[in-house]
Amino acid sequence: MKRFEIVNKIIENVVVAVIRLKDEKKLLQVVEAIYSGGVKTIEITLTVPNALESLAKLKKEFTGDILVGVGSVLSVDSAKQAIDAGAQFIVSPIFKKEILEYVGSKNLPMCPGAFSPTEIFSAYELGADIVKVFPADVVGMDFFKSIKSPMPQLKLMPTGGVTLTNAAQWLAKGACAVGIGSALVDQKLIENNNYSELTKNAKILMDTISSYRSSLKN
């Protein structure tokens, strides 16, 4: 899949599930659970134990149509290792020019973290495919509307503060996709092996977004 196709797929899928686990052995079950609820883009963070080995194993064992990227990437070396392990896109909580340029040289999408208007636009100018606004709960939804008014060309993805029920509101304010972590990938549910509830939560999230998208067509 080409770079622009992956970007388009991220936007089409809307939700990027940010996965942080204490036990990497549960990764496949977690992905299967949220995929059953309609979530098709996965971000495995490097805070997961043996994250890259888990990524390679997931891509080998999971048969569903998903995109798998790596998050919490803080260095070029980490980006290289993630890409070598099979990451289809890279996400970082920070804006670091060297990472952005390296991932771009590999013709893969890069979603750097940024916070201020200047930082966001600088990332865009250097080739960021989607800018991750983080932590989005600090700036709030109206920030997106304010940023998009003078810079409608930006593709923005909030991470931090996105919930099962407010994801559509972020989209309405100008986000092209949403990154959602603990509100979807609930650690207590995972610890209790309650994967059916994870599926239920994913379905609530995707149904909310589907309803919003349908309303735009009317």
Q: In this predicted structure, what is the pLDDT of residue 165? A: 94
Task: With respect to residue 93, please indicate whether it lies within any of the assigned structural domains.
Answer: yes
Structure confidence by residue, pLDDT tens digits, 94-113: 999 999 999 999 999 999 99
Task: With respect to residue 216, please indicate whether it lies within any of the assigned structural domains.
Answer: no
Q: In this predicted structure, what is the pLDDT of residue 218? A: 67
Q: In this predicted structure, what is the pLDDT of residue 150? A: 98
Task: With respect to residue 26, please indicate whether it lies within any of the assigned structural domains.
Answer: yes
Q: In this predicted structure, what is the pLDDT of residue 64? A: 80
Task: With respect to residue 135, please indicate whether it lies within any of the assigned structural domains.
Answer: yes
Cβ atoms of 56 and 83 within 8 Å: the answer is no
| Token digits of residue 48 | 């997961």
CA within 13 Å, CB half, 44 = 33
- Weakly modelled stretches of the chain, pLDDT under 70: 218
Q: In this predicted structure, what is the pLDDT of residue 186? A: 97
pTM here is 0.97
Task: With respect to residue 217, please indicate whether it lies within any of the assigned structural domains.
Answer: no
Can you give the residue range of the structural domain that contains 166?
3-211
Taking the alpha carbons of 185, 102, 104, 113 in that order, is the dihedral positive or negative?
positive
| Residue ranges in the chain assigned as alpha helix (H) | 3-13, 27-36, 51-61, 76-84, 97-105, 117-125, 136-139, 141-148, 167-172, 187-191, 195-217
Task: With respect to residue 153, please indicate whether it lies within any of the assigned structural domains.
Answer: yes
Beta carbons within 10 angstroms of residue 144's beta carbon = 24
Residue 159 DSSP code: B
Beta carbons within 10 angstroms of residue 49's beta carbon = 13
Write the CATH number for 69.
3.20.20.70
Cite the active site residues.
Answer: 43, 132
Q: In this predicted structure, what is the pLDDT of residue 63? A: 79
Task: With respect to residue 145, please indicate whether it lies within any of the assigned structural domains.
Answer: yes
Beta carbons within 10 angstroms of residue 77's beta carbon = 11
Domain count across the chain? 1
Task: With respect to residue 218, please indicate whether it lies within any of the assigned structural domains.
Answer: no
